[in-house]
Amino acid sequence: MVMVLILRYQGYQNIIRQAERLTLATLENNAWSIAQIINGDEHQHLQEAYQEKDEISGLTQDQRYDNLHKALASAQKELGIETPVYTYTKNEASNSFDFIVTSSLDPYFRHPFTSAPEEQISSYGKSNRLPAYSDEHGKWLSAFSPIRNSSGEVVAMVQVDQCFDHFLNEASQDAFAGLWWNFLLILFLVIIVWKYVTVLIYKEEEDKIELQKIIGEKTEISERLSLREKELERQKKSLVNKNQYLEDFANIVSHDLKSPLRGISNFASLLSRRLGPTAESSTTEYVNYIKSNAKRALNLVDGILNYSKLGTDAHNNTSCNLLDLVKDARENLLSVIDGRGAVVEVAERLPDAVCDKVIVTQLFQNLIGNGLKYNNAEVPTVKVTCTKDPEKGCVMAVSDNGIGIAKEYQASIFDMFTRLHGSEGQFEGSGIGLAFCLRIIKSYGGEIWLDSEEGKGSTFYFNLPEALLGEPEMV
Ligand code: ADP
């Protein structure tokens, strides 16, 4: 608001200055024009007459004065001057000015003008303007010009005035018009800005509170997380200890179980040797039965031990190609393959993987071994291939031309100690192999399933998504 006031006041000042300049220029011009019209000689005579006669009334009859007055009146009319135009002479004796001819409207006026400004006295005889001055009638602007006689002497001065008050009023009205509306507008804007700022401040406060709340919640969450982490760490330690304990336990148990079993097996062999070929056939059969059961029990203990270790030992993952692992498995089964006159066919290319070579080789060995074992074909044949599946990715397949598995048993064969064909003693086994396979596959995020028909063979499928690297098309 103060700014608006200052700007308006400056505008007002500029208007006044400009108006003063223009007015003074006009006044100066008018003063000069009138000075040219007035006859200087007549003026000089009139002046002399004044000095002789100090009665104003006596002058009214003076013909010289009439002429002068008429000339002045016509000039005033011609120039459109509304204010009185007057002339004056300098009174050297009193150092003042005497009006000797005044307004064309009021010629009978003679007045010693003693309060002339210093500038006017000093500039007598020259064209000039006076600085604005004020009297009881208002603020005035004046310009004057010398009147000369025929000899060129300055005999009087003509002065033209212009009252400036009405202009000042108009300029001030113009400059300050609508100020109250401006103030109201500014007030309105100030209120809006203030409201906006208040809203912003309020919003900032709210944001701060919200932020503090979030920080508080975050701190609480991180405290809870750190507690949870500690709890997990504690559980992890406890699990490691338990695993270690279980591993120790399994080792001790297997060792303690295996030594009496080995003892039974050894003593049964000794007994069989001592009995010799002459022994009763039923006795030999019983001794052999003891031997085979002891061997089976030993295999079972080994199987359980391997199975339990699978859960406790971390995988020793390295990069490899599955073809090499399948070939190793086939190598391990060479005596069985040769003994049965069997064939194990492997695809030319299998995917790369990052896995524990020992246990994945064991996985292939179990599946290929089962394909050879549960097989009465003339030439038992097992094929290892890899197929592409849009959902499961690279799927390994181990198929055989064996005895197959009836539909109703297919779901249960992955359970521990489940054996479908072991009761007649035709197929040796512990019922742990497929449970072991399932556990390995699950540890790599995979699945195992089968497709089998009794008497026609089986195909075991599995994938290892967390171990296989190669895309199926590489296969
Ligand atoms: P094991 O072979 O030691 O008995 P597994 O867990 O490997 O134990 O197999 C469980 C059972 O599943 C086997 O006893 C057998 O009856 C059946 N089985 C496994 N693989 C095949 C196969 N390729 N063909 C037919 N039956 C199979």
Residue 472 has pLDDT above 50, yes or no: no
Q: Pick from 310, 363, 374, 408 the residue to mutate for probing ligand 1's pocket: most ligand atoms within 8 Å of its CB.
A: 374
Does ligand 1 have an atom closer than 6 angstroms to the CB of 430? yes
Q: Do 191 and 271 fall into the same domain?
A: no
Q: Among the residues of 333-432, which ranges form H helices?
A: 334-340, 357-373
According to the model, what pLDDT value does residue 174 have? 79
347 within 8 A of 326, measured Cβ to Cβ: no
104-118, 141-155, 368-382 — which one is most confidently predicted on average?
Answer: 368-382
Q: Judging by beta carbons within 10 Å of its beta carbon (0-12, 13-18, 19+), is residue 472 exposed, middle or buried? A: middle
Q: How far apart are CA 81 and CA 127, in angstroms?
A: 18
According to the model, what pLDDT value does residue 393 have? 87
- Per residue in 62-77, pLDDT (tens digit) is 666 677 778 778 888 8
User: Confidence band (pLDDT; 50, 70, 90) for 103?
Assistant: low
- Terminal CA-CA length for the chain: 85
Q: Do 90 and 173 fall into the same domain?
A: yes
Residue 196: phi and psi, rounded to 5, are -60, -45
According to the model, what pLDDT value does residue 116 have? 67
**CATH number of domain containing 370:** 3.30.565.10
Does ligand 1 have an atom closer than 6 angstroms to the CB of 399? no
C-alpha radius of gyration, the chain, whole number: 66
Nearest one of 296, 268, 274, 473 to 387, comparing CA atoms: 473
According to the model, what pLDDT value does residue 54 have? 52
Nearest one of 324, 336, 455, 471 to 400, comparing CA atoms: 455
**Mean pLDDT along residues 1-17:** 83
CB count in 10 Å sphere of residue 457: 23
Does ligand 1 have an atom closer than 6 angstroms to the CB of 45? no
Does ligand 1 have an atom closer than 6 angstroms to the CB of 413? yes
Q: Do 11 and 102 fall into the same domain?
A: yes
Residue 427 has pLDDT above 80, yes or no: yes
Residues counted in the chain? 475
Q: Which atom of ligand 1 is nearest to the CA of 400?
A: 23
According to the model, what pLDDT value does residue 63 have? 63
The contacts of residue 374 (CB under 8 Å, 6+ apart) are: 400, 402, 403, 421, 427, 458
347 in the Ramachandran plot: left (φ > 0), alpha (ψ -120 to 50) or beta? beta
Does ligand 1 have an atom closer than 6 angstroms to the CB of 380? no
Q: How far apart are CA 263 and CA 450, in angstroms?
A: 40
Q: Do 136 and 171 fall into the same domain?
A: yes
**CATH number of domain containing 217:** 3.30.450.20
Q: How far apart are CA 97 and CA 89, in angstroms?
A: 6
According to the model, what pLDDT value does residue 474 have? 43
**Stronger pLDDT, 12 or 356, i.e. the higher one:** 356
User: Confidence band (pLDDT; 50, 70, 90) for 113?
Assistant: low
Last residue of a domain, one of 239, 268, 292: 239
Q: Do 273 and 371 fall into the same domain?
A: no
Q: How many domains does the chain have?
A: 3
Q: If you average pLDDT over every residue of the chain, what do you get?
A: 85
Q: Do 54 and 71 fall into the same domain?
A: yes
User: Confidence band (pLDDT; 50, 70, 90) for 84?
Assistant: confident
Last residue of a domain, one of 187, 219, 239: 239
Q: How far apart are CA 147 and CA 165, in angstroms?
A: 29
Q: Do 94 and 221 fall into the same domain?
A: yes
320 within 8 A of 355, measured Cβ to Cβ: yes
Q: Do 338 and 299 fall into the same domain?
A: no
Residue 247 has pLDDT above 60, yes or no: yes
According to the model, what pLDDT value does residue 104 have? 60
User: Domain range holding 253?
Assistant: 242-313
**Mean pLDDT along residues 31-60:** 72
